[in-house]
Structure 1
């Protein structure tokens, strides 16, 4: 399907807006993955506030030209799928990491976070960042353990006094 200049401008405007608000971006090679699996990936991405799109490489280079993701430009070759994380920087990396375990044809190329490149070997560093909810849950568990531990020590001290 050929795109005329107005459609290209619309695509650039739409994805540039997403690009400005995104915390991180991950690009992957999706050759050999069937469309049903890609549709499942898109469903999961919508639940996790991740925007996934397939954009022509030339248009994507124009989109990331003056943004935090300019470092991705050398890796934009061949058919790629780009995912932008909007709420948590590791969300797209985590989603792509889980998807690549189920589909051997899906290969993560690189990720960009804080204007730095993260290679596919180190993508787990970005994927393992705890979300806000997970961090709060861990904090509550630690506080609970500390308070129960202190209470038990007080009870033992009372028992030893008697």
Structure 2
């Protein structure tokens, strides 16, 4: 089904808006996937806060202009699905990685984060990035560690005194 100019402009504007607010992007070749498998991928993406779109490469190049994902433009060849992380940087990587484990027809071709294009082999790095809640808990544990150590150190002084007095008492009782 051919798209008219207005429909193409609407698609480009939609993808450009999503790309402007996304944290990371993954491009994967979907050749060989069935309609049911693509529907399943879209459902998983929606549930994880990932915007997934199959778009013509020329329209994708126009949509990515002026965004931090413009670095992907050179590699847009063949039938690609673009996944943009909306909620946390690793979401698109996790969705695509998990789906590709079960479906070998989905092949990651490239990914980008922070304006840098990464090789497909870096998908594990992107997928292992912590979510917002995980990052906050890691930060809080790092911030809490010095205070905990200080409290333990301050508590050790009276504890050592009590143990010393108890040892002297036991020595006098034994004598």
Match of 1:35 in 2: 35
**Can you list the C-alpha shifts for 1:45-88, whole angstroms capped at 9, x where unaligned?**
11221100000111001111222111101110000000111121
TM-score, structure 1 length as denominator? 0.86
For the residues of structure 1 that align with 2:86 and 2:53, how far apart are their CA atoms?
A: 14
Match of 1:101 in 2: 101
Match of 2:70 in 1: 70
**Can you list the C-alpha shifts for 1:19-62, whole angstroms capped at 9, x where unaligned?**
11111111000111122222122112112211000001110011
The alignment covers a number of residue pairs equal to: 161
**Can you list the C-alpha shifts for 1:126-156, whole angstroms capped at 9, x where unaligned?**
1111111112344566759x859949x8597
State whether structure 2 residue 2 is matched by structure 1 residue 24: no
Within-5 A mapping of 1:81-160: 81-139=81-139, 143=144, 147=148, 150=152, 154=156, 157=160, 160=163
For the residues of structure 2 that align with 1:141 and 1:77, how far apart are their CA atoms?
A: 44
For the residues of structure 2 that align with 1:123 and 1:19, how far apart are their CA atoms?
A: 19
For the residues of structure 2 that align with 1:40 and 1:119, how far apart are their CA atoms?
A: 25
CA 1:50–1:147: 2 relative to 1, 3 Å: same
What stretches of structure 1 of length at least 5 have no aligned partner? Answer: none
TM-score, structure 2 length as denominator? 0.80
For the residues of structure 2 that align with 1:100 and 1:38, how far apart are their CA atoms?
A: 12
* Rg comparison, structure with higher value: 2
For the residues of structure 1 that align with 2:39 and 2:79, how far apart are their CA atoms?
A: 17
Match of 2:169 in 1: none
Runs of 4+ in 1 over 2 A off after TM superposition: 135-144, 146-151, 153-162
For the residues of structure 1 that align with 2:132 and 2:82, how far apart are their CA atoms?
A: 24
For the residues of structure 1 that align with 2:7 and 2:113, how far apart are their CA atoms?
A: 29
What stretches of structure 2 of length at least 5 have no aligned partner? Answer: 167-175
For the residues of structure 1 that align with 2:24 and 2:141, how far apart are their CA atoms?
A: 29
SS of the aligned residue for 2:40 comes to helix
SS of the aligned residue for 1:62 comes to helix
SS of the aligned residue for 1:32 comes to coil
